Amino acid sequence: MFKGFANKMVDTGKASIFVRYAGVGPPVLLLHGHPRTSATWHRVAPRLVRRGFTVVCPDLRGYGRSRGPAPTTSHASHSKRAVAQDMVRVMQTLGHQRFGLAGHDRGAAVALRLVLDHPSAVTRVAFLDGLPLSEHLARADARFATAWWHWFFFAQPEIPERVINADPDSWYHGDPESMGQENHDEWRAATRNPDVVRAMLEDYRAGLTVDRQHEEADRTRGTRISCPVLVLWSLRDDLEDLYGDPRIIWRDWADDVRGHGIDAGHHVAEEAPNLLSSALGDFFAG
C-alpha cells in the first residue's frame, strides 16, 4: 500500500499531522472523510502519481495518526477552519504554495473552508459526496434526519463516546476485501482508539456549530469560490436522492462548476478508483 510514498509527521503549531506523499509535477492534496484515514486513497493516489502529479494524503486533525489539541467547549479546536490551516501548513512544509485540492465527505467540508479562507493557495477544487454543511442543515427535513441521524447523535455530549468505545467493531463496519487489507487494518486501529473517536465526534460537533456559523458568514459577505470546481457524487449513495443534482447547489457558491455522478457507493475511492482517478486527473490537468 502506497509503494514509493514517503511518510512524514508535520508540526503545524497546534497539531501533528501524519502525511503520505509521492510524485513529481503539479501538487494535489487529497482529504479523506469519516471515519477513514489517508489510507482510503491507496488505490487512487498511485494512479494520480503515474499521471504526473505530486500527491499528498494527510490524516485530518485527530483522525488516524494525526493529533490535535484537546476539545474545547466552542469546538473551535476541531473546526474546519483549524483543520484547513493545518493542511495549508502541511503543503507549505512540503514546498507547495499552490495546489489542487479534493475532499471527500467531511474532507469536502475542510476543502470548502480551505478554498474560502486561502483562495490564493488553491488552483482547482473537487468536492466528492459533499455539500456545504450549512446547505445540509438548511434543508434538514424528516428524510435528512432519518438518513443522517448520526450527525445529531454525534453532537450529544459524552454519550456517543460511551456507546462507540464500548464496542467500536460493532459500530464501525469495514470489509477488508473491498477496502484492501492494509487500509482496513489501519482504519480499524484508528477507530479502536478512544482519542481518535473523540476527535471524529468533535468534527461533527463543530459542524453543527462553529462551522455552520463560518459558512453562513461567508454567504452574508458574498464570499465565493473563485477557482474551477468539480462536483462528483456516488450514484449508489443518497446525495442525489436527497437533493437532486448537487451541482445546482454548488453554483450558489462558485461560478465555474462541473461534474457528474460515479457508479459507486459512498466510499468511492475504494470502490471505483479507476473512474475517480480518471475524473480527478482530467480535472487537475485542465
Is residue 266 part of the annotated active site? The answer reads: yes
Q: Which of 34, 118, 184, 266 is catalytic?
A: 266
Predicted structure pTM score: 0.98
**How do strand 16-22 and strand 54-58 relate by DSSP bridges?**
antiparallel
Is residue 105 part of the annotated active site? The answer reads: yes
Each domain of the chain, given as residue ranges in start order, spans 6-285
Quote the pLDDT of residue 193: 98
Quote the pLDDT of residue 254: 98
What pLDDT digit, counting tens, does each position of 31-90 carry?
A: 999 999 999 999 999 999 999 999 999 999 999 999 999 999 999 999 999 999 999 999
Q: Measure the CA–CA gap between 8 and 19, rounded to whole angstroms.
A: 5
Quote the pLDDT of residue 87: 98
| Mean pLDDT along residues 228-256 | 97
Q: What are 54's strand-pairing partners?
A: 27
Quote the pLDDT of residue 209: 98
Identify residue 189 by its one-letter amino acid code.
A
**Do the beta carbons of residue 92 and residue 100 sit within 8 Å?**
no
Q: Which of 105, 129, 218, 237 is catalytic?
A: 105
- Which three three-digit cell numbers place residue 185? 487494518
Residue 136 pLDDT grade (very low, low, confident, very high; cuts 50, 70, 90): very high
Q: What are 122's strand-pairing partners?
A: 99
Q: Measure the CA–CA gap between 260 and 132, rounded to whole angstroms.
A: 17
Segment (H or E) for 37: none
Is CATH 3.40.50.1820 correct for 6-285? yes
What pLDDT digit, counting tens, does each position of 156-199 carry?
A: 999 999 999 999 999 998 999 999 999 999 999 999 999 999 99
